[in-house]
Amino acid sequence: MSGLSPRKLLPWTTLVAALLWCGLTPTETKAGAVTFNTVPGKDSDGPLAASITFTAIKGGIEITITNTETGTIAKGQAISDLKFTMAGGLNTPTAFNDLQGWKVNSASFKPGSSFPGSATATQIGDSTTKTGPDSIDHWGFNTVGKTVLLATAGTGAPGGKPTYMILPSTGTTGPGKSLADGKNDPYLLGPTNFFLKVAGVTANTKLTAANFTGVTVGFGTGTDKVLAASAQSAAVPEPSTMAVAGLGALAFIGYGLRRRLKK
C-alpha cells in the first residue's frame, strides 16, 4: 500500500467503509412479529421441540408453527395443538380464516428412511375446504375469554382421528408403524401458517412478548404431551461497537486524505 498515492487510496477507503457497513449492520427483525420456542421436553416417542411466530397482518395475526425436532420421528412427536392467551390490549381473535402448508400422506413413508421420500406433498390454503363452522382441515378453533386454543387432537378438536398434525420439514421415519401407518393422514410438513381475524390489528401493529401469555404446544394423537414456550428477544440489535469504531477510523482516514489532496 505504500506505493499508492492519496488520490488512489481515497476510493478504496470509501469502498471498504461501504463493505464494512453492509457486512456488520444486522438484519432487522420485523416490527410486527414475536417468536416463542418450547422448553426442552420429550414423550415416549422421543424429544419434542417447536417454535411459534406471531406476526401482525392486516386484519389479524398470522401464526407460524414449526416442528423443529430432528432425527427419528414418530407420530407422538407431531404437533397437534397450540394454546395462548391474548394480552397487552389486543382483542381476542373472532375467526380462524385460513390454514396454509404442505400436506402429505405417511402411508408411503418407509421406516428407517428419510421422509417425505417419494411421498407427494401438496400445498393447501386460501379457501381450503372446511370441515365445520370453527375448523379448517380438522383444526378446531376455540376461545374462552382471551384464551385461544387451536387443536386437531384432544380438547377443542372436531372429533375423530387427528389429522393435519405438523411434522418437521424432513426427518427419519420411526420404526414399524410409529409414523408410517397412514391412520392419521394427512400430515403437514414444515412451517404451517394459521390466520386469525383480530379486530384492530394492522400490518403496522408492533407485537411483543407481552401480547401473548401462557403459550403452550401439544404433541401426539392425545394430545399426549404439552410443552410451555418462552419468548425470544424481538429487539433489533444496534450495530456493533467494532463496526462503529471501524467506520469512524475509516472516515478519519478519508478526511485526512481529502485534506492532503486539496493541498
pLDDT value, residue 219: 98
Per the prediction, the chain carries an average pLDDT of: 83
Residue 120 has phi, psi (to 5 degrees) of -90, 125
Q: What is the pTM of this model?
A: 0.78
Which residues have CB under 8 Å from 14's CB, separation 6+? Answer: 254
55-69 per-position pLDDT tens digit: 999 999 999 999 999
Cβ-contact 213, 85 below 8 angstroms = yes
Q: Rounded to an integer, what distance in angstroms lies between the CA atom of residue 16 and that of residue 253? A: 11
102-144 per-position pLDDT tens digit: 999 999 999 999 999 999 999 998 755 555 666 899 999 999 9
The single residue listed with the C-alpha cell 395462548 is: 84
Q: Rounded to an integer, what distance in angstroms lies between the CA atom of residue 106 and that of residue 174? A: 11
Say how many CA atoms lie within 13 Å of 253 toward its Cβ: 18
Provide the residue ranges of all domains of the chain, joining segments of one domain with +. Answer: 29-235
User: In terms of Cα–Cα distance, which of 154, 169, 148 is closest to 216?
Assistant: 148
Residue type, 121: A
149-166 per-position pLDDT tens digit: 999 999 999 989 999 999
Q: Rounded to an integer, what distance in angstroms lies between the CA atom of residue 85 and that of residue 157? A: 18
Instruction: Give the percent of the chain with pLDDT over 90.
Output: 71
| Sign, Cα dihedral of 257, 258, 261, 263 | negative
